[in-house]
Amino acid sequence: MTDYFLGLDSSTQSLTGVIIDFDGRKIVISKSLPFMEYFPEYETDHGVIKQEDEKVVHSYPLMWVEALDTIFELFKEENVDLSSIKAITGSGQQHGTVYLNDKFEEQLKNLNPDKGLKQQLSDVFSRETAPIWMDSSTNKQCQEIREALGGKKKTIELTGSDTFERFSGPQIRKFFQENPEAYNNTSIIHLVSSFMASILLGANAPIDHGDGAGMNLMDIRKKNWSDKALNITAPGLKGKLPNLVESFKIIGKISPYFVNKYGFNSDTIILPWSGDNPNSLIGVGLIEKGKIAISLGTSNTYFGFMDKPRTDPRGESHVFGSPTGDYMSLICFKNGALTSEQVKNEFKLSWKDFSDILEKTPPGNEGKIMLPYYFPEIVPQVLNPKVYRFGFDENDKNGNVRAIIESQLISMRLHSQWTGEEPEVIYATGGASKDKAILQTIADIYQVNVIQFETSASAALGAALRAAKTYYDDTGKNLSWSEIVQDYTVAKGKMISPRKEYKQIYDDMVLLYEAYENYILRSGKNPEEHRQKFIDIYFKNK
Ligand code: XUL
């Protein structure tokens, strides 16, 4: 008997499914359905609804549901033996909320396999669209909730994050304020993750602690709903939310709809889905202390395993539950690849030229410091974008190339200090992680080994591995997390070691960079003298 496990990822732009053959230690199939390509009739722009107000970003939950039927049809066409799948779970884009009326559960229980999900679930929504994580229209509600919870510090202490526009609580409050009647007609509010899990389960599924932590509604330490946060957010909210559970709990068996329609085994177990970041944590093998991941994509993210719920006193970052039952940090920097690309384009460089310059210029950049807010920044919060340069100007090609990379990475080191983690190895993922000169700069700045990690479909893979872990725990095989992830999460690239001779210069440069942040963003003292000293020590007569 083969043990297959399925992980699904309902992300902003696509639905992805990865099936693993656990004993064979291989991926049986990995399929991704971009919404724009497969479901053009919804007329989305990469999965989101085009709206005039660019702060308002929604999507269609019915489209996500339709994609579920389509992906199973594709698996069938490829002759994948769906009856060998022992357990299923998934990953959802975080924070998004789905609003359902009182028909939802009844209709889920009575799904007819001769018809499609779209046809049978089109009238279960009390709000046709779902606000997603890209929505930033709830500034007012963020302020109201933060204030009512006793200020920023108390909000962070209670929920693990300050209030953020994209978080579910502020979004729910906005819906209640702007559309009280539709709010009253809402029987249950799901996250993307728990909504999709409900379809597979044929009943309302709970929310797991990983994704629940992205709502400003869960007590991050007790891992239950905070009555205080619920009451402040909207009336009667407790009665409209599913329960919270551990990510690894079995929540039931697959709905007969999928058994009859696609040939799943009726014993296939369903786990709660989680957010994409908690799933990716598993998908890149971060199951214990000592490793962190840096994803260099459109935006740059830093995430890592945490054994205790430490919170960021500045309120810029987040703490979510990890699927292992522990915690994880997540820090999101907006000025990532697009910012480097802007510098590359300003000097009409190719990526190869850019990388060559990085390689041949000196670490520490001769004391040239940049605060690179080409776009509004999340960490540290900068609402009005502006680029600040100290010791050079916008015409200095080499200086700008090195400055943009060093500033992003030094800022990351500085703003991840609150996690208390001192990684032994950093997994670098995302487009820019293919560049050796960038990997070397990460290694030098952090003074730890860095390895490039291919992560196509890491969230879906993480989900499939979570499914395997729970199944084997349940059947008594009791495999440890490291036994589960080994082989699936092996970094393929070459390990890059830090150059010890640059330790001191970067330790000093982090302090100098922080002084410049304080100067520009927090009205601190001008650190020019400090910068001159830095140049004297490391660059005079060299
Ligand atoms: C995390 C966040 C994003 C979404 C993207 O806080 O908003 O990473 O989860 O899918």
**Token pair in block for residue 383:** 């609402």
Evaluate: CB of 167 within 6 angstroms of ligand 1: no
- Residue 65 CA to residue 504 CA, distance in Å, equals 53
**Token pair in block for residue 92:** 């959802």
For range 493-497, the mean pLDDT? 89
- Token look-up 């009512």 returns 148
Q: Which of 477, 481, 472 is nearest to 5 (CA)?
A: 472
Between the CA of 461 and the centroid of ligand 1 the distance, in Å, is: 17
The CATH T-level fold of domain 276-542 is Nucleotidyltransferase; domain 5 (3.30.420)
**Token pair in block for residue 269:** 């177990």
Query: Does the structure show a pLDDT above 90 at 466?
Result: yes
Q: Which of 370, 375, 373 is nearest to 393 (CA)?
A: 370
Evaluate: CB of 13 within 6 angstroms of ligand 1: no
- Residue 34 CA to residue 29 CA, distance in Å, equals 16
Evaluate: CB of 240 within 6 angstroms of ligand 1: no
Between the CA of 93 and the centroid of ligand 1 the distance, in Å, is: 6
Whose alpha carbon is nearest atom 7 of ligand 1?
133
- Residue 380 CA to residue 111 CA, distance in Å, equals 48
Strand pairing partners for 200?
Answer: none
CATH number for the domain running over 4-272: 3.30.420.40
- Token look-up 């786990």 returns 271
Q: What is the structure's pLDDT at 334?
A: 85
**Single-letter amino acid, residue 28:** V
Q: Which of 347, 234, 327 is nearest to 274 (CA)?
A: 327
Q: Is the bond preceding residue 323 a cis peptide, omega within 30 degrees?
A: no
Helices (H), 1-116: 35-38, 61-77, 104-109
Q: How confident is the model at residue 131 (pLDDT cuts 50, 70, 90)?
A: very high
For range 242-267, the mean pLDDT? 98
pLDDT tens per residue across span 300-341: 899 999 989 999 999 999 999 999 999 999 999 988 888 999
Among 95, 333, 458, which residue has the most ligand 1 atoms within 8 Å of its CB, making it the best to mutate? 95
Q: What is the structure's pLDDT at 376?
A: 84
Whose alpha carbon is nearest atom 5 of ligand 1?
93
Q: How confident is the model at residue 430 (pLDDT cuts 50, 70, 90)?
A: confident
- Residue 83 CA to residue 68 CA, distance in Å, equals 17
Q: What is the structure's pLDDT at 433?
A: 86
pLDDT tens per residue across span 401-421: 999 999 999 999 999 999 988
Cβ–Cβ under 8 Å, residues 31 and 75: yes
**Token pair in block for residue 342:** 């802007």
Evaluate: CB of 14 within 6 angstroms of ligand 1: no
Helices and strands (H, E) in the chain, number of each type: 21, 24
Q: What is the structure's pLDDT at 5?
A: 98
Query: Does the structure show a pLDDT above 70 at 56?
Result: yes
- Residue 277 CA to residue 27 CA, distance in Å, equals 21
**Single-letter amino acid, residue 75:** F
Query: Does the structure show a pLDDT above 80 at 124?
Result: yes
> What is the b/e burial string over 262-284, where b = at least 16 CB atoms within 10 angstroms of the residue's CB?
bebbeebbbbbbbbbbbbbbbbb
- Residue 59 CA to residue 65 CA, distance in Å, equals 12
Query: Does the structure show a pLDDT above 70 at 455?
Result: no
Show the CA angle centred on residue 366, arms to residues 364 and 372, nearest 5°: 65
Q: Which residues contact 163 (CB under 8 A, 6 or more apart)?
A: 141, 142, 143, 145, 146, 155, 169, 170, 216
- Token look-up 């942040």 returns 517
For range 286-292, the mean pLDDT? 90
Lowest mean pLDDT among 149-153, 234-238, 280-284, 444-448: 280-284
Lowest mean pLDDT among 27-31, 41-45, 383-387: 383-387
Strand pairing partners for 245?
Answer: 208
Among 276, 295, 299, 455, which residue has the most ligand 1 atoms within 8 Å of its CB, making it the best to mutate? 276
Segments of the chain assigned to CATH 3.30.420.40: 4-272, 276-542
Of all residues in the chain, the percent with pLDDT exceeding 70 is: 99
Q: What are phi and psi of 306, to 5 degrees?
A: -135, 140
Q: What is the structure's pLDDT at 542?
A: 65
Q: Is 236 left (phi over 0), alpha (psi -120 to 50) or beta?
A: left
Run of H or E including 339: helix 337-346
For residue 8, the tally of other CB atoms under 10 A from its CB is: 29
Q: How confident is the model at residue 238 (pLDDT cuts 50, 70, 90)?
A: very high
Query: Does the structure show a pLDDT above 80 at 1?
Result: no
Whose alpha carbon is nearest atom 10 of ligand 1?
93
- Residue 104 CA to residue 123 CA, distance in Å, equals 8
Looking from the CA of residue 320, the nearest atom of ligand 1 is 6
Query: Does the structure show a pLDDT above 90 at 494?
Result: no
Strand pairing partners for 327?
Answer: 306, 321
Evaluate: CB of 93 within 6 angstroms of ligand 1: yes
Between the CA of 475 and the centroid of ligand 1 the distance, in Å, is: 33
Query: Does the structure show a pLDDT above 90 at 422?
Result: no
Cβ–Cβ under 8 Å, residues 411 and 302: no
Lowest mean pLDDT among 29-33, 361-365, 454-458, 464-468: 454-458
Cβ–Cβ under 8 Å, residues 304 and 288: no
**Single-letter amino acid, residue 42:** Y
Evaluate: CB of 12 within 6 angstroms of ligand 1: yes
Q: How confident is the model at residue 54 (pLDDT cuts 50, 70, 90)?
A: confident
E strand map for 192-315: 207-208, 218-219, 224-225, 244-245, 252-253, 269-270, 274-275, 291-296, 300-306
Whose alpha carbon is nearest atom 1 of ligand 1?
94
Looking from the CA of residue 166, the nearest atom of ligand 1 is 7
Evaluate: CB of 276 within 6 angstroms of ligand 1: yes
Average pLDDT of every residue of the chain: 95
Q: What is the pTM of this model?
A: 0.91
